[in-house]
Chain A
Amino acid sequence: MTRYLLAVSISIASLCSATAQTITDHLMMPKKDFCTGFMYTHDQWKDYWEGSLKRDNQNIGTLTTTQLMWVGNYGLTDKINLIAMAPYVKTSASGGTLVGLDGIQDLTLAIKYQFAEKELASGKFSAFGVGAFSTPLTNYTPDYLPLSIGLQSTTVAGRVTAAFRLNEGWYASASGSYVWRSNVSLDRPSYYTDGNIYFTNQVWMPNQFTSTYSIGYHKNALQTEINLTQQNTLGGGDIRRQDMPFVSNRMNFLKVGVLGMYYLPKPKNFAVRAQISYTLDGLNVGQSFSVMGGILYTFHFANKENQ
């Protein structure tokens, strides 16, 4: 019962990582390269935080969300990348009687700009700004948590990332993002949340701040990394005792993730990517464990023109 979805949408952002050029990382697609592929994620939880109280719920059992996401990243220049993502999401609960839902969720479009780069003797410092926009592609309901496939909010996010990479391949990066979220509409004329009743179908969505820290190794065809992601929702109510979760709940979490990416020597231009992540702590979210795997292909348009 919990907003496991938000958790998913955050991981959506970090899922992309096509050739390692995701919204959150410190890597860029070269000019006129286009990397695209699909990522499959299996995410499940049994325990969740009802407010700050960790519990399970036999009327939910284990909540499973699977997601197949298309990703694409195009190098407009070496320093400006355009990124797009769109997932298909499916939910189900092993306990209780509530039916799971499925459908196409939100489109994310982002522009990533490397605005600083400095070569040092021992390595390279770089900094990035990302502007991201996401909006629902279908009219799924956000008012059926934890089985809704998304929150139905249109968002605009600003992100700054800084990274330092040693010449040997070790790197560390930190990234922070502020997410503005539009209000959402429910199918019902009234709702109760955070100690108040509202006589409208409009729900105010608190904004969010997310930070990601990673340490990894990237050299030649291999990238591997361990990362921590903290999401803080800047407002919103807690799930009340024995209540259902609500779209504007204060959904916070701290997740740890391990990712690996490898550019296959053959067939050429293919890469595989895998990530696992686990929720260490949270508020109003499920303690999810997720496994993601994907395959990516890179088109080198510039090279073709040259040939």
Chain B
Amino acid sequence: MKLFTTRLFAVALILVLLPFSCKDITGNEALYPYVPTNVDANAGTWLPVVLTSNNQISVPAPTSTNSAAYLSELASLKDIQSKLTSDQKKTIEYWSVGGVLRWNQIFRKLVAQYNLPPVPNPDGSYPIPDAENPFSNPQFPFSNPPYAARAYSYVSVAIYDALKAAWYYKDLYKTTRPDSPYEVDNGVQALMPKIDLPPYPSEDATMSGAAAEMLKVLFPASVEEITKLAADQRNAALWSGRATSSDITAGLNLGKSVAGFITAAGTGRFRTDGMGAAIGTPAQWKAFENDAIAKGEIPWISLDVPSRPPMLPFFGNVKAWNLTPAQVVSERPLPPPSTSSDQMKQELAEVKRYASGVTREQMAIVHKWADGAGTYTPPGHWNDIAEEFIRDAKLSEVRAARAFALLNMAMHDAAVACWNTKYFYFNPRPTQLDPSIKTTTGIPNFPAYVSGHSTFSASAAAVLSYLFPQGTTGFNSMADEASNSRLYGAIHYRSDCKEGLSLGKRVGGYTVNYAMTDGAN
């Protein structure tokens, strides 16, 4: 009897526990394969962003589809397809959702991975991440929001320009190489969505080259992972019957050349945009403080312990995509309320009310939009938002690349304009003026006015509303919510949020103006 009850107990326990043993995460894969509603066959005529023309980089003519060389490529392809392993099929499946969307996810991952601030030295100083020594402590880069905004924009632009060049050559060589392998030979299976475009040069290989070369410069310590992903994408194009090895070689060379042009030592835009001077020197940081004092204002100080150097104080001088340096200055918002003004007292009192009485719903908003250390940053969040609109609109690879390029150019410009404003006014955070203000998210290590989240979000909403007008109301309400989250979190005054939204909207307008004349409409 005792044995029986023991067993009964054991069985009952197992039955209760079973439902909990299986707990897969749902909703982690937002992407699925689709056939684009329009292949954008004329994208070779759209304006390049960085290249001087879409045929700036030459691509040799392909052999014809009845040449011995091509037939041998087909035979090799069929042989590969007859022996596909389950791992190879998984690689095909992974990339079949669209390379542009996939690469965007990959660089969001890299940003989150590297978005950690350096650890202080024992003497209270901080080491500076070094691109020449990326594997040491501190890791390089620290992909904070300005770094990330710039990185997203360069990778997106490199992919976009490379794809327009690929489209140019697809059209140029369409009589020599009109059909994809699965159209040329019935024995070749199409294991990815069939795209009605000439296969030479391969768009998958083109973007693998452009994306990987840019990412290797931005995240040098992840070279192994990046290289493998790029090779996987090319293999997926080959194994799926979408491209032969000559389609892939031509695309890879084109993509790498585009990234090479952007990153060329001494001449490439990436090397000459002013990022190298964005950190500045302790003497320059001191000058911000002195300027603020000279204006009769309380200067910003770091609230990190130990006190941390300001984040990229000269990022406001980095070259923007669609604003001239003079426009960056002319768009700069008017000064914030003086630190000694009544308005500032009132705004501080409002922050304090949120600090001491934030509701659970408001805290959820704070954490939804915090996008702080260890995350893909606010620009990454807006790429995340854009992803489903691109997917749902079934955009072609080149038009998807355009959407991300426009979005990320605007957010880079927002970062430049916002940082320019922040360090021009050097305005303190609420907790600096009233240390009794405790926050529900970390206080970013740079001046308050204007709010970066507000600027990023409004610029993103402006571009996304242009691209996906049906989503305008939602984009604007998300931008408002992201902006308010900083007030609810007690790390920004209302003026920071309001003026940040306004600045972001204006900055986004410059990219929208560019988009209206880029030949893609």
Asked whether A243 lies within 8 Å of B303 as measured between CB atoms, the reply is no
- Contact with A116, one of B6, B119, B437 (Cβ below 8 angstroms): B6
Number of interface residues of B (CB under 8 A): 60
Q: Which residues of A contact B376 (CB under 8 A)?
A: 190, 192, 197
Asked whether B23 lies within 8 Å of A190 as measured between CB atoms, the reply is no
Known contacts A58-B305, A189-B368: A156-B16 contact under CB 8 Å: yes
A14 within 8 A of B: no
Q: Which residues of B contact A227 (CB under 8 A)?
A: none
B409 within 8 A of A: no
Q: Which residues of B contact A158 (CB under 8 A)?
A: 13, 17
Asked whether A200 lies within 8 Å of B304 as measured between CB atoms, the reply is no
Identify which of residues 66-120 in chain B touch chain A, using a CB-to-CB cut-off of 8 Å: 105, 108-109, 112-113, 116-119
Q: Which residues of A contact B27 (CB under 8 A)?
A: 199-202
Chain A residues touching B, range: 35 or more
B440 within 8 A of A: yes
Asked whether B367 lies within 8 Å of A186 as measured between CB atoms, the reply is yes
A97 within 8 A of B: yes
B375 within 8 A of A: yes
Asked whether B113 lies within 8 Å of A192 as measured between CB atoms, the reply is yes
Closest to A140 in B: B360
Asked whether B9 lies within 8 Å of A129 as measured between CB atoms, the reply is yes
Identify which of residues 40-54 in chain B touch chain A, using a CB-to-CB cut-off of 8 Å: none
- Nearest chain B CB to A131 CB, angstrom units: 5
Q: Which residues of B contact A201 (CB under 8 A)?
A: 27
Identify which of residues 339-368 in chain B touch chain A, using a CB-to-CB cut-off of 8 Å: 355, 360, 363-365, 367-368
B121 within 8 A of A: no
Q: How far is the CA of A155 from the CA of B19 in the complex (A)?
A: 11
Known contacts A182-B23, A183-B25, A191-B375: A197-B12 contact under CB 8 Å: no
Identify which of residues 61-116 in chain A touch chain B, using a CB-to-CB cut-off of 8 Å: 95-100, 113, 115-116
Known contacts A59-B305, A143-B367, A197-B109: A203-B25 contact under CB 8 Å: yes
Asked whether B25 lies within 8 Å of A204 as measured between CB atoms, the reply is yes
B295 within 8 A of A: no
- Nearest chain A CB to B153 CB, angstrom units: 20
- Bitwise, A213-243 to B at CB < 8 A (1) or not (0) is 0000000000000000000000000001111
Closest to B26 in A: A202
Q: How far is the CA of A105 from the CA of B439 in the complex (A)?
A: 22
Asked whether A131 lies within 8 Å of B12 as measured between CB atoms, the reply is yes
- Contact with B5, one of A115, A139, A143 (Cβ below 8 angstroms): A115
Binding site for A on B (CB under 8 A): 2, 5-6, 9-10, 12-13, 16-17, 20-21, 23-30, 105, 108-109, 112-113, 116-119, 137, 139, 303-306, 355, 360, 363-365, 367-371, 373-376, 380-381, 384, 431, 437-443, 490
Binding site for B on A (CB under 8 A): 58-59, 95-100, 113, 115-116, 129, 131, 133, 139-141, 143-144, 155-156, 158, 180-183, 186-192, 195-205, 240-244
Q: Can you list 24 A-B pairs with a CB-CB distance of less than 8 A?
A: A58-B305, A58-B306, A98-B441, A115-B9, A131-B16, A139-B360, A141-B360, A141-B363, A143-B367, A155-B20, A180-B17, A180-B20, A187-B363, A187-B364, A188-B368, A189-B384, A197-B113, A198-B25, A199-B105, A199-B384, A240-B374, A241-B119, A241-B137, A243-B116
